[in-house]
Structure 1
Amino acid sequence: MSFVLPSLTINARRIVHPTLLLRSSMSTGNLHVVSTPEAPAAIGPYSQAIKAGGFIFVSGCIPLVPSSMEVVKGGIKEQTAQALANLRAIVTASGSEIDRVAKTTVFLQSMNDFADMNEVYAGFFGSHKPARSAVEVARLPRDVLVEVECIVLAP
């Protein structure tokens, strides 16, 4: 029995589905932890990001101010801006850049906040438009309004 997972082509290079790469990297011990004081420390048993198989998997970023570990004051716009600033700090610490983000997932406490989140998100990414999913969830850590995770091409 055999099966084929989808792959994608970027800059004429074939890249295998990230799930296979992660499994492959785990089996050979090629996982590299990314950590930076420029983003909030993990508030659980996870890493800020992991480099594996040509990708960087950035854990969900919530709108904590790194220096205080407190939720940024304000509504969805301020929280989205802080979550994305934290994401940028981790991507930069990994040696990559925001324009190499391939996919984001945005978790919203309420889809009523989608338009305001989207306005801040669009300004953050500018002309770069990574693939994105946005989902409403029942609750987020620290009762924040938004959380953003991403998959980035490693340099």
Structure 2
Amino acid sequence: MKLIQAQGLPAPAGHYSQAVEANGMVYLSGVLPQQGVVDPNVDTFQDQCESVFGQCEKILAAAGCEFSDVVQCTVYIVGIAHWPEFNATYARVFGAHKPARAVVPVPELHFGYSVEVQMVAARPSA
């Protein structure tokens, strides 16, 4: 198992890695909006989504992947009302690529954020 840490992003505060690679698959831990950059009390849901996908892009790149390599995505959103806005952002980010996905409405997320994204990607052959 190879640990993945994207440059320019803070190391996880807990006992986990940003991502790990095992047998050609890259597993991203749940990604929240970047603390200290996005404030859940001030920034919009859209700002939070942009922060999460920006971080995911950097973590995927650190593993030699991009969004087109993602095979599965699990999303946690606070409140079902955010679903349409999230879906539009997700469609823009992934374009024609359509990985397997689950969107799970939850009552709350850590630090008061409204979105968390977890991904699995297949590392392209060298």
Confirm or deny a common fold (TM above 0.5).
yes
2:101 to 114, 132, 141: 132
- Per the alignment, in what secondary structure is the counterpart of residue 104 of structure 1? strand
- Give the drift of 1:96: 1.2
TM-score of the two chains, using structure 2 as the length reference: 0.90
Verify: 1:71 aligned to 2:63, yes or no: no
| Cα deviation, residue 77, structure 1 | 1.1
**In structure 2, what residue type is equivalent to 1:57?**
Y
Residue matched to 1:152: 121
The runs of 5 or more residues in structure 2 that have no matched partner are: none
RMSD value, Cα: 1.6
Distance between the aligned counterparts of 1:87 and 1:117, measured in 2?
Answer: 15
> Whole-Å Cα distance in 2 between the matches of residues 35 and 64 of structure 1?
15
Larger CA Rg, structure 1 vs 2: 1
Q: 109, 134, 145: which one pairs with 2:78?
A: 109
> Which has the larger displacement, 70-79 or 123-132?
70-79
After the TM superposition, which segments of 4 or more aligned residues of structure 1 sit over 6 Å from their partners?
none
Deviations 1:40-71 (A, max 9, x none): 42131110000011100000111115xx4653
TM-score, scaled to structure 1: 0.74
Counterpart contact for 2:5–2:59, Cα < 8 Å? yes
Equivalent residue letter for 1:129? K
Q: Number of matched residues?
A: 123
Question: Equivalent pairs: percent with the same residue?
Answer: 30
